Amino acid sequence: MNSISELQDFIINGHKHYMPHISIDAAIFGYHDHQLKILLSGYKALGGYCLPGGYIKRTETLDKAANRIVAESTSLTDLYLKQYKTFGDPDRIKWSELDFEKFSKEIGLPYIKDSWLIDQTISVGYYALTDFSLVTPKAGLLSDSCDWFNIDEIPPLLYDHDQMVKDALHTLRTQLYYYPIAEKLLPAKFTLTEIHAVYETLLGKKLDIRNFPKKLVFLGLIKKLNEKRNIGPHRAPFLYKFDLKKYTKALETGTTLT
Amino acid sequence: MNSISELQDFIINGHKHYMPHISIDAAIFGYHDHQLKILLSGYKALGGYCLPGGYIKRTETLDKAANRIVAESTSLTDLYLKQYKTFGDPDRIKWSELDFEKFSKEIGLPYIKDSWLIDQTISVGYYALTDFSLVTPKAGLLSDSCDWFNIDEIPPLLYDHDQMVKDALHTLRTQLYYYPIAEKLLPAKFTLTEIHAVYETLLGKKLDIRNFPKKLVFLGLIKKLNEKRNIGPHRAPFLYKFDLKKYTKALETGTTLT
């Protein structure tokens, strides 16, 4: 945590600059070498982890706010963040279960319960995918820590953030076939083994090694090149690349499937 | 408009029951016999059309609010509404361009400018698809009219609702292949000509009559039945049905494509 007085000011006066009742939370997935991770912010005062999040300035678009919030809470910049769902269950944050006394003591403010922050809030969910080996997150203004967690070793999260992770991962998986989400995780030219590994890891399930690439080619998502990569004696698999023109055109008019 | 006093009360006291800064707007598409339409609410006081919309009660989930709002402003109930995007550009509603004097006169309230409604608002977008021949919309509490408009004859809409329609239609089109969106528009058993017409109309483009059904079958979205329909001498095309089991399973684990 950077500065208690900055945080105090945010808690007391934040609603003058930020819209009350609305927050943003970001599910940032990281892939590298058959592993899928997610970025979690730790909050000592709240006694747990949640997705990096924050509030929207009255002068910002949602996308701009999402980028600023992620940069502030994780030190990651220039992420391709994509909105996926807004969460608005009135019971999503159980304020009655928050230990206000402990929280107030931690922050050094006696009247936190009256803050604009302690009210019904809907949250706009964003997700992103990056190569976790290339980035080292750091905690930001409001969080105490920020670390990559293996996707199957996520601790129980605060509020409704378990549901957020579930929905974000579902969106990532369904959108994998019509947005070139995985493109930045692969070299410009890749083998079928390489793209097979990425898709298997992101989807969290085994894919038929012979049938899977056929579908990608059939759908026009990847193109076979007239080039091979030499990876050993008698081993020179063909190279492929994403057909980004096809993706882009499909996104304008509908899907890649027509 | 049902009642001026009810509307006045909403404008003055609404924020006690509804969350300020957040609204819901619904793009309701209607299909029938090669035609695609959209439902628009007319507002005399605002001098134009927009998507049916409203505010969220502090006790409601977003989905529940969306259903209530649509029922109130269109008299359509039990629609399958699906959230697709939240709109949060600070300039999305240009209050400075609203003729407050005219609006106040219309409503019969002198101090509308101070209302909780006249403030920065993000809007959660929902969309739905129905058979427009089966439903007759009616105006609700806040709107003066509610009618189906042909998709290519939409008048310029208020606020950012042109963008909302564009994004909703894009979502409908991309999701057409992994949610069984079109299922309710077709009989349980249909011919390739019938599903071809639905998909062509929803996508707003020509589809190859021979190649298109092959893809749907390849992807496992539809199944050929061992049954034919007699539609004339020497004309008995095979019948098909959606593979809803495959859709449902795909939605749990990823996509229909693996």
Q: What pLDDT, on the 0 to 100 scale, is given for residue A1?
A: 45
Nearest CA among B74, B16, B31 for reference residue B176 = B31
pLDDT, tens digit, 9 for 90 and up, residues B182-208: 888 999 999 999 999 999 999 998 888
Residue of chain B nearest A58, judged by CA positions? B90
Nearest CA among B174, B169, B188 for reference residue B255 = B174
Residue B253's pLDDT band (cuts 50, 70, 90): low
C-alpha B220/C-alpha B153 separation (Å) is: 35
C-alpha A182/C-alpha A29 separation (Å) is: 11
Among A22-31, A136-145, B8-17, B85-94, the range with the most confident prediction by mean pLDDT is: A22-31
Q: What pLDDT, on the 0 to 100 scale, is given for residue B110?
A: 67
- Compute the half-sphere exposure of residue A45: CA atoms within 13 Å on the CB side of its CA: 16
The residue written with tokens 């009810």 in the block is B6
Q: What is the mean pLDDT of residues B23-52?
A: 94
Is pLDDT above 50 for B212? yes
A162: its two tokens: 């378990």
The residue written with tokens 């505010």 in the block is B55
Q: Do B19 and A207 touch (CB under 8 A)?
A: no
Is pLDDT above 90 for B38? yes
Q: Which residue has the higher pLDDT, B85 or B250?
A: B85
Residue B240's pLDDT band (cuts 50, 70, 90): very high
* Fold equal for A4-175 and A181-253: no
- Interface of chain B against chain A, CB under 8 Å? 19-22, 56, 58-62, 65, 83, 85-90, 120, 122, 124, 170, 173-174, 176-178, 199, 203-205, 207, 212, 215, 218-219, 251, 253-255, 257-258
Partner-chain residue, chosen from B61, B88, B205, that has the shortest CB–CB distance to A89: B61
Is pLDDT above 90 for B256? no
A27-36, B119-128, B217-226: the lowest-pLDDT one: B217-226
pLDDT, tens digit, 9 for 90 and up, residues A11-60: 888 889 999 999 999 999 999 999 999 999 998 878 899 999 999 999 99
C-alpha B177/C-alpha B189 separation (Å) is: 18
| Fold annotation for A181-253 | Arc Repressor Mutant, subunit A (1.10.10)
- Compute the half-sphere exposure of residue A219: CA atoms within 13 Å on the CB side of its CA: 27
C-alpha B157/C-alpha B154 separation (Å) is: 8
A225: its two tokens: 């090149």
In the beta sheet, which residues pair with residue B125?
B25, B85
The stretches in chain A having pLDDT less than 50 are: 1
Give me the percent of chain B exceeding a pLDDT of 70: 94
* Nearest CA-CA distance, residue B233 and chain A, Å: 32
Nearest CA among A130, A115, A110, A112 for reference residue A26 = A130
Q: Where are the domains of chain B?
A: 4-175, 181-253
A135-149, A205-219, B44-58, B89-103: the lowest-pLDDT one: B89-103
Nearest CA among A130, A144, A237, A224 for reference residue A193 = A237
Measured between beta carbons, which residues in chain B are less than 8 angstroms from residue A210? none
- Interface of chain A against chain B, CB under 8 Å? 19-22, 56, 58-62, 65, 83, 85-90, 120, 122, 124, 170, 173-174, 176-178, 199, 203-205, 207, 212, 215, 218-219, 251, 253-255, 257-258
CATH for A4-175 (3.40.50.720, 3.40.50.300, 2.40.50.140, 3.90.79.10) = 3.90.79.10
Q: Do A174 and B61 touch (CB under 8 A)?
A: no
B93, B99, B103, B108 alpha-carbon torsion, rounded to 10°: 130
DSSP 3-state of B256 = coil
Residue B226 has phi, psi (to 5 degrees) of -90, 50
Among B49-58, B166-175, B213-222, the range with the most confident prediction by mean pLDDT is: B49-58
Q: What pLDDT, on the 0 to 100 scale, is given for residue A83?
A: 97
